[in-house]
Amino acid sequence: MTPASPATIPTLDFKAEADRLLPPGASYDACLACGLCSSGCPASGIDGMDPRRFIRMAMLGLNRELSTTPWIWSCTLCQRCSSVCPMSIDVSVLVSLARGNWPPERRPSGIVRSCQAQLRSASTSAMGVRPEEFVDIVAESAAEVRRQGPRFRRIQPPVDRQGAYFFVNQNSREPAAEPEELGPLWKILDYVGADWTYSSTGWAAENFCLFGGDDDAWRAVVEQRVAAVNALGCRVWLNTECGHSFYSMWRGIRRFGLDARFELDNLISWYARWIREGRLPVNADWNRAGLRFTVQDPCQLVRKSVGDPAADDLRFVARALVGAENFVDMQPCRGANYCCGGGGGALQAGRSGARRSYGRRKFDQIAASGADYVLTPCHNCHSQIEDIGRHYGGDYRVVHFWTLICLSLGILGEDERRYLGPELAGPGLPDRGDDGDG
């Protein structure tokens, strides 16, 4: 590295770093320059860069250009390139390095500020929701849910309950921006009689420090969360509908060798299990109109972590919910799926032109599927797919799994339908009764 003032980006020696990081025997020199990676990368062409070019330039020692290209904030670290490369070359390793090499004041401020917020609060919330605020929001929202009718009288989300089976995490977007989206999740957990708890600390799901290229910060957030789960003695850290939170925890625990005395699991797999066991008796009767649904495989959950079993569970749950005949896959899908373009911190990086250009492939996939709705078990995917739909003039809607589960079970409240179209504003409203206790 060359010495530099804080605001200039130092020059990284990418080839030397690659030699240091790659396992013995592996080398970027093995690149055949075949271009399969770039062909399958939605970020190809943004800022005149693509993964093949990045690798070639690294091998040629064009370090200054690579150190400063803003493209590193458009690559979503989705690892599609390495999954199609015959040599398994993973450009995202170098991209992460390049990100960490940018001085914090030059990195996209959205990512930096989110990460700083996470490090500041015991909540680990990127939106700055403090522990006591979280507890209050949960209590108030639960009261709202109870007012929906007598059958919700028992909804009392536990917080800091020692020894619960599930430690349930929560993306900050719900408590901070759309608390009415919390209710469907609680109703499902209540329906199946889950033994669960929130924690007042370490409850948040998101991890933007991972995307800043700052390993110490990533580690600090994961440590905080691991400590919270260990302290409550829960058996399973249950990741709710959020993709990168799973990857950041699962990968972080291994990478940093943390002492996690619990299993990691994700909610979709438990939906699948509860449906198989008959504890969530969902069906597609509400979908008489034959609305067509597709599902987004979050890269962070499917390609980068759990793999095909997660993709299978997503489809099993989706088919059960909407009717097999109304389900259609995007192409490609599962482990070969394209990133939505909102991952890797792209939604927070402020480069919306580049982000939407990346999202064009996702938009085309959705348009080709002819789906009316996209099911997204991930908040980043959800926001990005909504945004590109508006931008490119799509006529689909984007919805969480929990919304459809509650809809199917007849327990979805009126206020919990913001992501449903007018055709689904009415079906299966819960009985109101008049003794909601508030």
| C-alpha distances out from residue 313 to 76, 238, 271, 275, 338, Å | 24, 15, 8, 11, 19
Residue 100 as a binder of ligand SF4 (CB under 6 A): the answer is no
Phi, psi of 375 (to 5 degrees): -85, 125
Choose the binding region for ligand SF4 from 88-96, 225-233, 250-258, 385-393 (rule: CB under 6 A): 88-96
Q: Which of 83, 200, 230, 383 binds other proteins (CB under 8 A)?
A: 83
What the block records as the tokens of 177 is 């921006």
Question: 80 contacts which partner out of other proteins, ligand SF4, none, CB within 5 to 8 A by kind?
Answer: ligand SF4
Which part of the chain contacts ligand SF4 (CB under 6 A), choosing from 29-37, 200-208, 237-245, 262-270? Answer: 29-37
Query: What's the CA gap between 305 and 303, in Å, rounded?
Result: 6
Q: Is 253 exposed, middle or buried (0-12, 13-18, 19+ CB in 10 A)?
A: buried
| Least gap, CB of 387 to ligand SF4 (angstroms) | 17
75, interface contact from other proteins, ligand SF4, none, CB < 5-8 Å by kind: ligand SF4
Minimum gap (Å) between residue 47 Cβ and ligand SF4: 12
Site string for ligand SF4, 176-195 (x = CB under 6 A): --------------------
Q: Judged by CB under 6 A, which of 18, 46, 58, 75 binds ligand SF4?
A: 75
78 binds, among ligand SF4, other proteins, none (CB under 5 to 8 A by kind): ligand SF4
Kindly write down the DSSP assignment for every residue of 95-153, as one continuous string. HHHHHHHS-TTTS-HHHHHHHHHHHHSTT--TT---HHHHHHHHHHHHHHHHHT-GGGT
Are residues 414 and 428 in contact, defined by beta-carbon separation less than 8 angstroms?
Answer: no
Within 10 angstroms of residue 214's Cβ, the number of other Cβ atoms is: 21
Among 63, 66, 67, 80, binds ligand SF4 (CB under 6 A): 80
Lookup: tokens for 193: 């009689």
Which structure tokens are listed for 83?
A: 């999954």
How many CA within 13 A on the CB side of residue 88?
5
Q: Could you say which of 29, 140, 216, 308 contacts other proteins (CB under 8 A)?
A: 308
- Residue 96's binding partner among ligand SF4, other proteins, none (Cβ under 5 to 8 angstroms by kind) is none
Name residue 263's beta-bridge partners: 236
Asked whether position 132 contacts other proteins by CB under 8 A, the answer is no
Tokens of 234: 């829960």
79 binds ligand SF4 (CB under 6 A): yes
Residue 42 C-beta: closest distance to ligand SF4, Å: 6
- Indicate which of other proteins, ligand SF4, none lies near residue 83 (CB less than 5 to 8 Å, by partner kind): other proteins
C-alpha 243/C-alpha 218 separation (Å) is 16
Residue 74 in contact with residue 342, Cβ under 8 Å? no
Query: Are 296 and 385 a contacting pair, CB within 8 Å?
Result: yes
**Burial readout 345-383 (b: 16 or more C-beta within 10 A, e: otherwise):** bbbbbebeebbbbbbebbbebbbebebbbbbbbbbbbbb
Distance CA 361, CA 250 (A): 28
CB of 219 to ligand SF4, least distance (A): 22
| Comparison of 31 and 268: residue with beta carbon closer to ligand SF4 | 31
Q: Confirm or reject binding of residue 253 to other proteins (CB under 8 A).
A: yes
Enumerate residues 6+ apart whose C-beta is below 8 A from 368: 330, 331
Q: Output the CA torsion sign for 291, 78, 267, 210.
A: negative
355 binds, among ligand SF4, other proteins, none (CB under 5 to 8 A by kind): none
Q: Which stretch binds ligand SF4 (CB under 6 A): 79-87, 243-251, 274-282, 430-438?
A: 79-87
- Of the candidate spans 288-296, 345-353, 358-366, 425-433, the one that interacts with other proteins by CB under 8 A turns out to be 358-366
Binding residue (CB under 6 A) for ligand SF4 from 14, 18, 46, 51: 51
> Would you say 65 or 329 has its CB closer to other proteins?
329
Under the binding rule (CB under 6 A), the answer on residue 78 touching ligand SF4 is yes
Residues in contact with other proteins by CB under 8 A are 32, 34-36, 38-40, 44-45, 48, 50, 83-86, 88, 253-254, 260, 263-264, 303-309, 329, 331-336, 360-361, 364-365, 367-368
Residues in contact with ligand SF4 by CB under 6 A are 31-37, 41, 43, 51-52, 55, 75-81, 85, 87, 89, 91-92, 339
